[in-house]
Amino acid sequence: MAMNSEHDTPGNSHDEARRSFLKQSSLLTAMALVPGPLVQAAAAELDEKVAAVFEKIPLKLEVNGVKHKVSVEPRTTLLDFLRENLHLTGTKKGCDYGQCGACTVHVDGQRVNSCLSFAVMHEGKKITTIEGLANGDKLHPMQEAFVKHDGFQCGYCTPGQIMSAVACIREGKADSEGEIREYMSGNICRCGAYSNIVAAIQEVKGGGQKV
Amino acid sequence: MNEQPKPKKQIGAPMNRVDGHQKVTGAATYSAEYQLPNITYAVLVGSTVTKGRLTGLDTKAAERAPGVLAVISHLNAPKPPGPKPEGKDPSQPQTQGNPLQVFNDDKIRFNDQPIAIVVADSWERARYAAGLVKAQYAKEAHQTNLEENKSNAFLPTAAKKNPKNPMNDYQRGQVDAYKTGAVKLEAEYVIPTEVHHPMELQAITAHWEAPDRLTLYDKTQGTMATRRDFAKQWGLPEENVKVIATYVGGAFGNALHSWPHESAAILAAKVVNRPVKLMLTREQMFTMVGYRPYTWQKLGMSATPDGKITAITHESVGQTSTYEEFTESTLAQTRMMYQSPNVTTRYRLAALDISSPIWMRGPGEATGAFALESAMDEMAYLLNIDPLEFRLRNYTEQDPEKNKPWSTKFLKECYQLGADRIGWSKRQLKPGSLRDGDWLIGYGMGVGTFGAHRGAATVGAQLLANGTVLLQCATTDIGPGTGTAMTQIAADTLGISPDKIRFELGNSSFPKAGTQGGSSTVNSVGPATQEACLALKDKLRTLAGANNPAFASARKEDVTMQDGYLTVGGNKDTRVSYADLLKQAGGTAVMVEAKPGGEGQKYSMYSFSVHFAEVRVHQLTGEVRVSKLVSCADAGTIVNEKTAGNQMKGGAVGGIGMALMEHARIDDRFGRYVTKDFADYHVPVHADSPAVEVAFVNQPDPYVNALGTKGIGEIAIIGVAPAIANAVFNATGKRIRELPITPDKLI
């Protein structure tokens, strides 16, 4: 993915939303001047469109180096925004309550459960997801280590484990096996590949590479 | 002659997974992640009562909510043309297999049963509108407590109908002979309801590509079984239904059955005539996609003072639903594991107003092994004999149930491997002998076994223009690494590098295979891969033979594939390019079905495992920490040490969950689960899991298949929970017979 390119998400752009809002607003004004039954008829049709415009608010943020100007509903979680609006499905939904860690992403370098965070809270923030961790074709050392140590089985919790593992080292909380297990406990792996995940983290930590 | 260096043997090598790159980059696509045009989002509304009838359903507000495309319930749902779930004779309960047809009537059979589905143009809108649906009910008294319903337990219908069904009562020697034994024990054991909870929430994307053509991107362990179920439900030819499950985010058995949410999504897609995506919530994972059933067991055992078992009686009552009879092999291990002349087993079901259970990893056997292996420890303690020594004194050299020789059994070797690694010699017979400050230390063991099952499977193979061999099979991979193991098997059979092989799976349109369950995938698909590769070699030899006589007389084993050329034994003078082969009419594609032979008639085929646990129990708080786990397996040939080892470690972690934390609790007053998420249904996290040590005997079984494999997935967990419970006894002197072993039971 190109770095720092300006990118308007198709069909969801700020400008488009504003344009249609203006269109709808003038319609509403016009409707106020016409007889009741017509308003009712139109309302059934327009109800949804009007609601849609009022429900969405503009948002600018950067995901994996790509800038997005969008409008989203305030109730949309960062997780659903990434998965459904940007189609970045590497970030996984495992519980929606911040209990499993499958949705872990980095927000300005900090690990965050994206299911517990609304997209609109991230105005101007830089988000990194699993899709943005590698440097082009070159895997991040943590991704390499997960492959080498078989730090997964089904692969579903893996993006969250890797994002958390990178953060764990950056936070300086990977100095011993016990510390890694403690600071990785927010990421559940039901396949139970924990021993291998810890081995992968220890290798990256021990290798001294910058993560 | 130009002898090529022999390629490195791949079977047994710790090869990295073929799909590892996809999984670590987020590129692996699971069933809710397919980008289809005009996609819609569906949310299920569940019943808030446990039993009764729906008397009113107000969907108006939901229908008017923004973005809503449809609200479907029994009031307006189209009825699929397939057979009705109740069958012709409503007095006969449905046995396993048919999906519950949703929105078929106003009857409520369990709490959170889907009563409506809301389809909208986003998750947020569908979820909001689902909350606007209002239901009225005529409630009836319900039963959700197994203990209160044990007296109504019954023999499964399948057993009543067929005296050969293994769910029938079993006896060898005298019935209940333990009652008159020299040294005897009798104890009751309970396993509460446990839920699979794979990390991927159950999800499906249903797409009617034409009025009679359905494509499902679905979380399933069997693409063909899912295709069969929904083709039947909609009265379609099977070839009109396509099921895709390229990646499955864990399942542990809960995707071995078709479920109501799948029916609902398919129905919704029909109504809105657009693709529908549905993903269950974590709460719904408790109520809609099965669980390991609450099971009560009673075990009686007698032995001679010198440690020979004289009799075992093992009874169990497992829970099932009112609309399906779910059975599992809870008592199987008791019938064949130890050399007891008298064995009685009795298996019963109690039907409750709860959704249907489904096999969960180590199904039945893991439940039964908790009772049997705990009782073995109890008896060893009564006899003042080391529990490992007690098991050796009752070791079976042939199957005492079927009176057949084992195909292979290297359980003694497993005992030795495990005992050495855990440091069994440190264990004291007297509980509470070892301590480290406030922590009491104990050691325990538990044995597991599971049938080395094999079914028919077909694999297709062809040579592609880029020099890659493409293999295809409808089998799935829920995490063990099927594609990786098959690539290794193909590499050895073809004599080419694994990076020249692509094994595609998870698609019902591919050559047929059974479901990924019962540790049978490598046993079944492995030989089909091997035979398809041999057939491909033979086909290439025949094609080459048309222009090159050297091939016409060559054996297929001598055909060598390298660097884009086919040669006889690496002799450059005989070489024919892949491009030339592919130019010939008919192509290179072959398809081979591999089936088990009659070996099962002659031999008793099982995988075996033993698990050793070291626990530390805090004497004031009752906190239990598993400080060390060693799992050893006799699983035949190990195709990939790395992925196989990972499976064993994962099973051990699952066993920690069974032993110490997992408990899905219902408030019987309401018939509703009070455990609804990972905050109250605990599963092991990093901090709960020690480094698990794994050792394999790695001896091929010559009878299950030509590869020598026996299966790993189930034996990885069977026997782990009793190993931990026995270690807790050894540490504390407290025998906990009702799982999970939470601190309140120890202080």
Task: Tell me, yes or no, whether B281 and B295 share the same domain.
Answer: no
* Helices assigned H by DSSP within B478-559: 482-494, 521-545, 549-552
Q: Which of B569, B595, B621 is the last residue of a domain?
A: B595
The residues in A 6-45 lying below 8 A from B, measured between CB atoms, are none
Cβ-count burial B609-631 (b if 16+ within 10 Å, e if not): bbbbbbbbbbbeebbbbbebbbb
pLDDT at A13 over 50: no
Q: Which of B534, B563, B595 is the last residue of a domain?
A: B595
- Strands B276-279 and B40-46: what pairing? parallel
- Strands B439-451 and B457-463: what pairing? unpaired
Q: Does B131 touch chain A (CB under 8 A)?
A: no
The residues in A 155-174 lying below 8 A from B, measured between CB atoms, are 155-159, 162
Q: Check residue B546 and give its pLDDT.
A: 85
Distance in angstroms between the alpha carbons of the first and the last residue of chain A: 20
Using a CB-CB cut-off of 8 Å, the residues of chain A touching B484 are none
Contact B574, B548 (CB under 8 A): yes
Q: Which of B580, B595, B610 is the last residue of a domain?
A: B595
Task: Tell me, yes or no, whether B607 and B665 share the same domain.
Answer: yes
What strand order describes the sheet that includes B40-46? B68-73, B114-120, B40-46, B276-279, B203-210, B213-218, B241-244
Contact B745, B632 (CB under 8 A): no
The CATH number of whichever domain residue B636 belongs to comes to 3.30.365.10
- Give the one of A48, A96, A158 whose C-beta lies nearest to B23's C-beta: A158
Structure tokens at B693: 């040590």
Using a CB-CB cut-off of 8 Å, the residues of chain B touching A184 are 686
Using a CB-CB cut-off of 8 Å, the residues of chain B touching A150 are 16-17, 20, 642-643, 645-646
| Cα nearest neighbour of B480 on chain A | A153
Q: Does B721 touch chain A (CB under 8 A)?
A: no
pLDDT at B87 over 50: no
Task: Tell me, yes or no, whether B301 and B283 share the same domain.
Answer: no
DSSP for residue A82: I
- Give the one of A150, A181, A192 whose C-beta lies nearest to B654's C-beta: A192
Q: Check residue A54 and give its pLDDT.
A: 64
Q: What three-state secondary structure class fits B305? A: coil
Across the interface, whether the CB atoms of A154 and B248 are under 8 A apart is answered yes
Q: Check residue A43 and give its pLDDT.
A: 54
Distance (Å) from the C-alpha of residue B645 to the closest C-alpha of chain A?
A: 10
Averaged confidence pLDDT in chain B: 95
Reading phi first (left if > 0) and then psi (alpha if -120 to 50, else beta), residue B448 is in beta
CA gap B706, B685 in Å, rounded: 39
Task: Tell me, yes or no, whether B484 and B414 share the same domain.
Answer: no
What residue numbers bound the domain in which B717 lies? 151-193+291-453+602-745
Q: Check residue A203 and give its pLDDT.
A: 97
pLDDT at B361 over 70: yes
Does the active-site annotation cover B148?
A: no
Task: Tell me, yes or no, whether B693 and B580 share the same domain.
Answer: no
φ, ψ at B24 (rounded to 5°): -90, -10
- Summarize pLDDT for A100-132 with one digit per residue, the tens: 999 999 999 999 999 999 999 999 999 999 999
Task: Tell me, yes or no, whether B353 and B387 share the same domain.
Answer: yes
Give the pLDDT band of residue B82 (cuts 50, 70, 90): confident
Give the pLDDT band of residue A81 (cuts 50, 70, 90): very high
Residue by residue, DSSP assigns B632-679 as: EEE-BS-SBHHHHHHHHHHHHHHHHHHHHT----EETTTTEES--STT
Contact B368, B333 (CB under 8 A): yes
Give the list of residues 6+ apart from residue B370 with CB closer than 8 angstroms, or none.
B189, B191, B297, B658, B721, B722, B725, B739
Give the pLDDT band of residue A52 (cuts 50, 70, 90): low
Averaged confidence pLDDT in chain A: 85
Across the interface, whether the CB atoms of B24 and A147 are under 8 A apart is answered yes
Distance in angstroms between the alpha carbons of the first and the last residue of chain B: 77
Give the list of residues 6+ apart from residue B224 with CB closer than 8 angstroms, or none.
B243, B474, B508, B512, B513, B514, B515
- Summarize pLDDT for A59-68 with one digit per residue, the tens: 999 999 999 9
Q: Check residue B96 and give its pLDDT.
A: 45
Distance (Å) from the C-alpha of residue B156 to the closest C-alpha of chain A?
A: 32
Structure tokens at B280: 């269950």
The CATH number of whichever domain residue B214 belongs to comes to 3.90.1170.50
Task: Tell me, yes or no, whether B278 and B384 share the same domain.
Answer: no
**Which amino acid belongs to residue B308?**
K
The set of long-range contacts for B68-71, using a CB threshold of 8 Å and a minimum separation of 24, is B68/B118, B68/B119, B68/B120, B68/B125, B68/B126, B68/B129, B69/B40, B69/B119, B69/B120, B69/B121, B69/B272, B69/B274, B70/B117, B70/B118, B70/B119, B70/B268, B70/B271, B70/B272, B71/B116, B71/B117, B71/B118, B71/B119, B71/B129, B71/B133
Across the interface, whether the CB atoms of B250 and A76 are under 8 A apart is answered no
The residues in A 76-105 lying below 8 A from B, measured between CB atoms, are 76, 80, 83-84, 87-97, 99-100, 102
Which of the following is catalytic: B662, B693, B714, B738? B714
| B320 beta partners | B351
Domain boundaries, chain A: 6-132, 141-207
**What ipTM was predicted for this assembly?**
0.96
CA gap A159, B33 in Å, rounded: 14
- Summarize pLDDT for B287-338 with one digit per residue, the tens: 999 999 999 999 999 999 999 999 999 999 999 999 899 999 999 999 999 9
pLDDT at B582 over 60: yes
φ, ψ at B567 (rounded to 5°): -135, 165
Q: Check residue B584 and give its pLDDT.
A: 83
Task: Tell me, yes or no, whether B395 and B464 share the same domain.
Answer: no
> Spelled out in words, what is the top-level CATH class assigned to the domain A6-132?
alpha beta
Task: Tell me, yes or no, whether B176 and B120 share the same domain.
Answer: no
Mutate to test the interface with B, among A191, A196, A197, A201 (most CBs of B within 10 A): A191
Residue with structure tokens 């091939």?
A: B551
Q: Does A202 touch chain B (CB under 8 A)?
A: no
- Summarize pLDDT for B618-638 with one digit per residue, the tens: 999 999 999 999 999 999 999
Across the interface, whether the CB atoms of B646 and A196 are under 8 A apart is answered yes
Across the interface, whether the CB atoms of B689 and A195 are under 8 A apart is answered yes
pLDDT at B527 over 60: yes
Distance (Å) from the C-alpha of residue B737 to the closest C-alpha of chain A?
A: 25
Q: Which helix (H) or strand (E) holds B502?
A: strand B501-504
CA gap B675, B677 in Å, rounded: 6
Mutate to test the interface with A, among B25, B35, B680 (most CBs of A within 10 A): B25
In a domain, B56, yes or no: yes
> How would CATH label the architecture of A141-207?
Orthogonal Bundle (1.10)
pTM greater than the 0.90 cutoff: yes
Q: Do domains A6-132 and A141-207 have the same CATH topology?
A: no
**Please, how many CA atoms are within 13 Å of residue A55, restricted to the half-sphere of its CB?**
16
Structure tokens at B44: 């299920």
> How many residue pairs bridge chain A and chain B with CB atoms within 8 Å of each other?
185
Across the interface, whether the CB atoms of A192 and B684 are under 8 A apart is answered yes
Q: Check residue B562 and give its pLDDT.
A: 86
Contact A149, A200 (CB under 8 A): yes
Give the pLDDT band of residue A49 (cuts 50, 70, 90): low
Task: Tell me, yes or no, whether B614 and B709 share the same domain.
Answer: yes
